[in-house]
Chains A and B, each alone.
Chain A
């Protein structure tokens, strides 16, 4: 089956670093995505990993280990505007086409 797990909620302080973990099980893995979703808005794309290792994009980095079914999103120099939900998603190709399967999201609160 398909399963994606991530923590429900995290809290961190402005200026700090936070790591959001995601574990997944899927039969047709074809990429790991992180999305950011502010309350009342659409999910917006943050990062993509298809090979093992770290991808860095400014303050945000994402890591993937396919053998462990594990990813994390690292947010550095946290700002108040980073308070949002962070969704881990796997692109699955098991059914012959792509579909994006989402975890339940991690609500991050950044405190002053």
Chain B
């Protein structure tokens, strides 16, 4: 039973296209995140949502728009894709102030823009 699941696992698309990545967690966590891991393996936070509300936006271009329909889901839509957007995008969730302190990660979406 997967705790944090994201789809698709692989995404290859052309420059200028619009694409979405979906994420769902069944852990009952209040907080969800999107991270970007570049070719140098640096994991950088992009967004954080707490109970469907945007809390953190780490100066990400506005071509990236997260949406949280409910606290178990956090999707990421990317407009006008650029070559530099190629990376692995990880969704994560955490309990916040209650329960286990660690963040749990999805399996990642490898986005390749050609």
Contact = CB atoms under 8 A, between A and B. Distances in A.
A5 to B, nearest CB: 12
Contacts of A99: 33, 45, 48, 56
A97 B43 CA distance: 19
A91 B97 CA distance: 11
Interface of B: 31, 33, 35, 40-45, 48, 50, 55-56, 90, 92, 94, 96-97, 101-108
Interface residues of A, number: 24
Nearest to B43: A102
Contact of B55 (A44, A85, A96, A105): A96
A48 B101 contact: yes
The secondary structure that dominates the B interface is strand
Interface string A72-112: 00000000000001010001000111111110110100000
A85 to B, nearest CB: 6
Contacts of B90: 42-43
17 contacts: A41-B107, A42-B105, A42-B108, A44-B105, A45-B102, A45-B103, A91-B101, A97-B50, A97-B96, A98-B94, A98-B97, A99-B45, A100-B33, A100-B94, A100-B103, A102-B44, A107-B41
Interface string A22-41: 00000000010100010001
Nearest to A44: B105
Contacts of B33: 99-100
Contacts of A41: 107-108
A99 B42 CA distance: 15
Contacts of B31: 97-98
